[in-house]
Structure 1
Amino acid sequence: MFVSFGGVVDTHLHPKQMHYLAKRPSNYTVFSSPLDTSQHVRSSGGISLFIKNPLASHVHTYTSHSSRLLSVDLYFKGNVKLRVFIVYIRPTSDQALHDVTIDLLIQALSDAKRFGFHHVVCGDFNMHLDQFYHIFFNQPQMASKRVHRLFNFLLSHGYVDFTPVNFSDSLGTYHRTGITSRIDYVWSCSLFKSYLLTAVIHDVCDTSFSDHNPIVTYYDRSLLFSSIKLAHARQLKRRSQRIFLFDSVTPLQWDEFSTHVDQLCNMLPSTFASWHVNRMCEYLHANIIAGVNATLPARTIGNDHTPKLPKDLETLLQHYHFLNRVLHSIRLLRKYLHTFSSSHDRKWLLHLVRLNNIFSLYKSSFPIIPLLPSILSSCQPDNFNNLFRILSQVSKSLRGLHLLKEKEFQDFSIQTYVENRDLNFDTDISFFINSALSRSHRRIVLDHIFIDHPITPRLLMDPKDISDAVVNHFQSAVFIKSTPPLHISELPDRWRSEYLPIDTVSPDIYSSLSSPPSLEEWLFTVSSMPNGKAPGPSMITYEMLKHLGPATNSLLLLLI
């Protein structure tokens, strides 16, 4: 399991004792709160947060608010600030400590929100959220009472407890003497909602290690690492990204890629199948990207360019620029023949693949497909004159094709713009006038919101508070049962008829859809996918999937 942050609560251990025990996981740094020596040993608290070392290097400061509340601040380049809270709230049997910790936590969360931190709070709350949901949605006056103030604060301010998928028989995090309940939570602020993936409760009842089951919540790390990449680019006064040159990849390089990734994905299928789906994805993604970086050619380009040309024209322009770079290198070799070395032969092998692809792609533009030497050193006897002449003619042909395609695109754009203007004059005169006068788009902006709460009415002026209130309104405008129907028969009559199977449709048509795909079906599907498509956040393209080896494909099939 890849855990970046891990919290333990109610340890009754001094920070020195915890630091000594924390030496066992050598790749983590621990931050601990001091014990409250003024209290009874059962109330002394003691909480610790373990952070993996690559992330621990970003820790700016940590604050022990009490022996039961700890926060750690991590600063990342790109003005991204993360604050992680870990809390232990005493049961109501110790009402004074219970109330003090809740008030302290609410104040700390308010400060984190005010200072613009992405923040998460996790720990043992010793309270039952499932019992509060009904009160929050149906009895707002009761929900605002002091006894419910923590859950009311969290839900009213857009915090999310991501209901986890459970590996045990019940959705409980606490078990003792046959009683199972859910009192441990991981709450994420509204800024973190879009980065939540899933959560899992792990069953540790058989280990006798604790009477609590740990919760693991998974987040998309792009919030942290994409901001680091962009900030690093800004620091270097550039914005760039790395792209792979699939046009220049030789069959031998694809074979090396397949072999390299298969060597990295050496996990037994039975072990791989037992993992959580997030761990499967991380394992395959890391190894495929590592194999690409190790074997395939790539280059760095600017990522702040907004394409204004169609894909085929932009591709033609890229090929034309590449050909001119090759032509320039040949021109330099003609002028300084003594600079030729074996490295030129190695580079020529890569260039030759892409040049042949260009000849094949634009063969209708050439009277005769040029023949290029397989080894650059064979052109030395004539001082590279023949090769220079061939590439010069190809460059002129591509330049003429580019000018023609560019003129066609300009004419098409002008004609399309005129037709749209004419159409808007007939169908949308308002849009036509705005376009003709170059008016900018206007929109309604909520600059203040009044919440007419029966007990605590509020006027919101802060843009973040207004945004959270709008989101919260539309999320809670329609009551959602905390226990959704488990069977179609439990639905209201209005909806039951809509979801009942249609009598004229045989249920057997879905039998093949529910069966897992075979390896042959998966390989056929991938092979039919088009090349040259932009990858998603994973940066894994169809070309990479098509050239995976048998070992990696067998693991990928388990994930599918």
Structure 2
Amino acid sequence: AHPGSSPLNPLFKFLHEQQFDDLCELDSSSLIPSPTFRSSSSGSLSRLDYIWISPFFPIPHLWSSVSDLTDVISTDHFLIVAHFDFLELKDHHAPSYLKQRQRCRTSYDFHSASSVQKESFASTVSALLPAISSLSRGIPLNQLWHQFKSSLLSASRSHFPRVNISLSRPKDIPHELRPYTRLSNSLTHFVISLKKMTTISQLRLAWSRFFVDFKPGFLRLFSDQMCLLNSLPDPVNLDEIFIATSLSLDEFRAQLQTSLRKLKQFLSVRITLEFEKFKTASMKSAVAERNENFYENKGKFITSSLNKERRCIVLDRVLVVDLPESPKLLVAPEEIKAAAITHFQNVVGPSISPFDSLTSLPPRWKRRYAPLEQFQESLYDPVMAPISVSELHEVISLSPAHKAPGPSSIPYEWFKVLPETALDFLCELMN
């Protein structure tokens, strides 16, 4: 039957009445559906196979095709292929799903950086910032803030270690222990990558890159374990060491893997000990804080004793039932936001207060809400006074650590190592 006509089969008639779509291939000349079955006895062609989709199927249908597979396999049926536009599928996903699909975000770890790297960061920021005299040339404030932010971000990319933070698997490792796990993970990845190296030049290049980054981090954590690094081959003389051993590349690579596994065992043991120490110290600190709150802050004591988890609601889909006969499911962020605003603006209804203006209030409350006839203008002086560099220093020194940065991507810790020229620029920018 033609897709636009009413079918005779009861099942097909039901699907047709429910507005299901028959994804058939139409013959270009006759505009009738192409056959999908050839009888092995009579050789007659008919349409026996179908693909139907619901009218609520979210993916747009592009075209369908029918292929005769007689030359490939022994069958009476043709192959029906329906093509869909799955590129539009992401528009129908919830924002929470789309956020998880973003595998990771890049951050620059201030806490694992050395003192030399922090000093280099401060020097680079000072060199990248424009002169303070440029603030009085009529440059827009947004442009000046962008220059300040770009200087900090550019300097951090050059001097701080780069870290990829997973969005689907949040990190539960404390900041104090992440240098240990990062060191262990880098060693594990290098040991695994040894299998892919087929020449001594590849091994020398990879070992040189790894050892240059691994050695400083290892000595920062284990300054008394230099003997473990001395047992490893020197990257500079790796070719001479390989020739002197008279081993094949596979045997030399296996020998290097054995040495690295011993180092990996040492790291695993030390990481376990550090985690146990941190766990014990955290428990003692939590007990001491709870005991202190019992006497000084009853509210915090009750909250911590109940052990309630903080929860939040993620509004990633909304069912609009203004018209009960045709409810609508919203998944686009803009539509959800508009529907939520409309709902909360109208859910309460108009005010039931009998007073529609200040003049209709009783005399007692009219005096309360009447504007002041006179006030001391000096009340605004502390607020309008320019910010000094010393005040900025004090605020920065009191800022908390290990907090997630805001939209600027600049954490508090970066401000604490800024040079005086950068702080002067920031102070002028604020004023």
RCO higher in structure (CA 8 A, sep ≥6): 2
- TM-score, length-scaled by structure 1: 0.36
- The structure carrying a bigger strand percent of its residues is 1
Which protein has the larger Cα radius of gyration, Structure 1 or Structure 2?
2
- TM-score, length-scaled by structure 2: 0.45
